[in-house]
Amino acid sequence: MSQPGKDRDAKVQPAAGWRSIHESPDHSKNIRSENISYLKNAERHDLKFIFITGGVISSLGKGVAGASLGALLKGMGYAVSMQKLDPYLNTDAGTMNPLQHGEVYVTDDGAETDMDLGHYERLLDTHLPVNSCFTSGFIYSRVIETERQGSAGEYRGKTIQIVPHVTDMIKHVILRQTISGAKVIMVEIGGTVGDIEGLPFCEAVHELRNELPPRNTLSIHLTYLPYLRISGETKTKPTQHSVKELRAVGLRPDIIICRSDEDVTEDTRYKIAKTCGVAFDSIFVSKNLDYVYMLPEHFKEQRLVEKVCELLSLEAKPFDIGPMIRFTSNLAALKKEVRIAVVGKYVDQESPKDRQEGVKKKPITYYESYKSVIEALSHAGVRHGRRVDICPLEADDFKFLDIAEELSSCDGILVPGGFGDRGYEQMLAVIRYAREGGKPFFGICFGLQLAIVEYARNVLGLPHASSEEFRNPLSDPPGEDFIYFMSSWYNYRTGTIDYRKRDSSIGGTMRLGLQPCFLNPGTRAYSAYRGAYDEGLRRGAENRSYVYDEVPLTESINVYRTAFSQDIDPKTLADLERDAREKGLLTVYERHRHRYEINPAFHAVLTLGPGGADRFVISGEAPKFTVKGQNTPPHIVEVMELEKHPWFLGCQFHPEFLSRPLRPHPLFLDFVKAASDFKDRRKSKGQHGS
């Protein structure tokens, strides 16, 4: 089935992060002069900068440590912004393999970023803007683009060098945070000190520390202290060499945070202080904890935030992190559990040969590949008094495993996002098992699309039903593309229609970021959001979530109110929301990341149901509107659920990105409750499997 509408040629837009600096580049502007203006603004408002680096080994948890400190500063009443600068040469994280780099995290504004932004948002309970994450690839691309302007451009034919041109661009993206309204600007430098690709970032920070007032910048260095069990010693030499590397690039740490598997004695701290030239009371410890949400309390006990305030000449105000402490206490005290299978494409790195030979390796990467999903399940579990036991399953492994045997002990099944055809047939079989067995099922983005294909094949009796993403038109038999490539959609941020071609580059060209969704009354999705909203009202205004009085955008808070062009009828989102309320609909906003969508040509057949069989119900959809003089983009369905199944729901957006420890996402809350109820029913019947 061909897709509705007509493809149009379109200039592919660059990645979202690119658009954040110069939506319409003004070549008469000068980066260096803008930096001087930002520096004056920072000094005028007495803004504080905290730079976080890491040494010895990678993956130390700089993002979690920085976000935990930021949460304490925010608790004192200071406005905090956080930024991640990554040395890799990708333009952004959008095209990177989750098995290598962890999940791709998406902001309200549509940026595809490093997973550390998820840590920032969850611990700070905030919505970060698009320019909170930059890479070397972006920086170099922007410098090269400017150089290509020749004598007419900013560089005017100069010889382009790392210093000053690349470092000026790095300082530019940092200093733009001075207009964010934050009092404290935290910047994490990715990678490990000494890495060759990270040198320009360290040099830029070195220059900023010289250009800003001495009491307005702070350098925090996170290092690893290895423990030799054979001698019973914690070794400080790697930390000493790491600080030596840091000094070699012009940076002297004001605070050292030591990551350790063991307790760090005062003697060890004293030795580090002496050998690294840092005050004894500026050496802190980041122990391995059971849950990352315990780290703010761990730092609070050491009075880290008070030392930061002292060094930055900030008032150390009283603060309370009681709600987070209660959350972690409840999390640690959970006795009951519910078992959720997460069946995905990025669970482990077994080779095809291992799978053929039946060799099973311990999955070590799934937690980062689906970080936000795992965290969202945990948030919902705490609210329901359940420890969520995650059962990670690689889709490809079901070529060699029995589905019923592997999933019988699970109380719910979640199929998360992904791209490509690898493992999709196995996922279809897993979804069929959940549908026919009455087991709670939650499909996110790719998971929803597969649920539609499975239903079309096994309920509607269309064996060739598929997704356009999987079908090779030159070799596969023609089929019914229930999932099709989106060639156009309305961009709420620009007030225009975005067009895409199938051969477009893949970086930053999907339907990305926060989009409105109208929920239909009488559906499970509507009840989930309404229930969470009402519960939030009972708990207090700070817990109201996901049904917003105002769109929770960051940099462009009013963009949804003003972005509609004069060719749109109705002209504003307020008109659409008012119309939705009159119809009894509920308006919510969720983050998206997809280029395929449920084919509108099949909406009707999916919702009819053959001969009394279970049918899909459209429970959430994008606003409908008309565009004068243009082809209106096809209707987008956001949420679908099976009418008779105990709990079978899929959504096109990614709700995991908006879940917070103290405000679990409504859909995850409802899914975990359904899985818990399923377990209790099974237990009451004396069943161990399904």
* pLDDT tens digits for range 486-522: 888 877 766 677 888 877 776 667 888 888 888 999 9
Domain boundaries, given as residue ranges, for the chain = 32-325, 335-684
C-alpha 216/C-alpha 205 separation (Å) is: 13
Annotation marks residue 656 as catalytic: yes
For residue 448, give the 3-state DSSP assignment. helix
Interval 149-163 mean pLDDT? 85
Mean pLDDT value across the chain: 84
Q: Which fold has domain 32-325?
A: Rossmann fold (3.40.50)
pLDDT digits (tens, 9 = 90+) for 589-600: 889 998 899 999
CATH code assigned to 335-684:
3.40.50.880
Instruction: Please tell me which residue in 258, 445, 517, 651 is annotated as part of the active site.
Output: 445
Instruction: Please tell me which residue in 103, 468, 590, 656 is annotated as part of the active site.
Output: 656
pLDDT digits (tens, 9 = 90+) for 93-108: 777 777 777 889 998 8
Higher model confidence: residue 367 or residue 107? 107
Q: How far is CA 240 from the centre of its chain?
A: 34
Kindly give, in sequence order, each residue whose CB lies less than 8 Å from that of residue 646, ignoring residues fewer than 6 positions away: 438, 440, 674, 678
Q: What percent of the chain stands above pLDDT 70?
A: 83
Is residue 549 over pLDDT 60? no
**Phi then psi dihedrals of residue 409, to 5 deg:** -85, -5
- Number of CB atoms found within 10 A of residue 68's CB: 27
Dihedral angle of Cα 561, 566, 569, 573, to the nearest 10 degrees: 0
- Give the pLDDT score at 579: 75
Where helices occur in 249-388 by DSSP H, the ranges are 266-276, 295-302, 304-312, 322-333, 352-356, 366-369, 371-383
Nearest CA to 447 out of 605, 647, 640 is that of 640
Kindly give, in sequence order, each residue whose CB lies less than 8 Å from that of residue 314, ignoring residues fewer than 6 positions away: 48, 78, 184, 308
Annotation marks residue 654 as catalytic: yes
pLDDT digits (tens, 9 = 90+) for 557-578: 343 443 444 445 555 666 777 7
Distances (CA, A) of 64 to 52, 289, 377: 11, 12, 19
C-alpha 617/C-alpha 519 separation (Å) is: 11
C-alpha 668/C-alpha 646 separation (Å) is: 15
Higher model confidence: residue 438 or residue 575? 438
For residue 66, give the 3-state DSSP assignment. helix
pLDDT digits (tens, 9 = 90+) for 521-545: 999 999 998 888 777 777 664 444 4
Angle of the 116-124 helix axis to the 371-383 helix axis, nearest 10 = 20
- Give the pLDDT score at 688: 55
pLDDT digits (tens, 9 = 90+) for 463-494: 888 888 887 665 555 568 899 888 888 777 66
Cβ atoms 186, 163 nearer than 8 A: no
Nearest CA to 594 out of 447, 474, 408, 430 is that of 447
Is residue 690 over pLDDT 70? no
Interval 397-415 mean pLDDT? 88
Angle of the 295-302 helix axis to the 322-333 helix axis, nearest 10 = 120
Do the two domains 32-325 and 335-684 of this chain adopt the same fold?
yes
Interval 636-652 mean pLDDT? 95
- Give the pLDDT score at 683: 83
pLDDT digits (tens, 9 = 90+) for 443-458: 999 999 999 999 999 9
In this structure, the strands spanning 616-621 and 511-519 are: antiparallel
| HSE-up (13 A, CA, CB side) for residue 287 | 12
- Give the pLDDT score at 589: 83
Is the torsion defined by CA of 651, 654, 656, 662 positive or negative? negative
Q: What is the pTM of this model?
A: 0.89
- Give the pLDDT score at 29: 64
- Give the pLDDT score at 491: 75
Q: How far is CA 322 from the centre of its chain?
A: 26
pLDDT digits (tens, 9 = 90+) for 182-235: 999 999 999 999 899 999 999 999 999 999 998 999 999 999 999 888 888 889
Is the torsion defined by CA of 193, 178, 513, 90 positive or negative? negative
Q: Tokens representing 455?
A: 């239903």
Kindly give, in sequence order, each residue whose CB lies less than 8 Å from that of residue 525, ignoring residues fewer than 6 positions away: 519, 619, 620, 639, 641, 649, 651, 667
- Give the pLDDT score at 630: 64
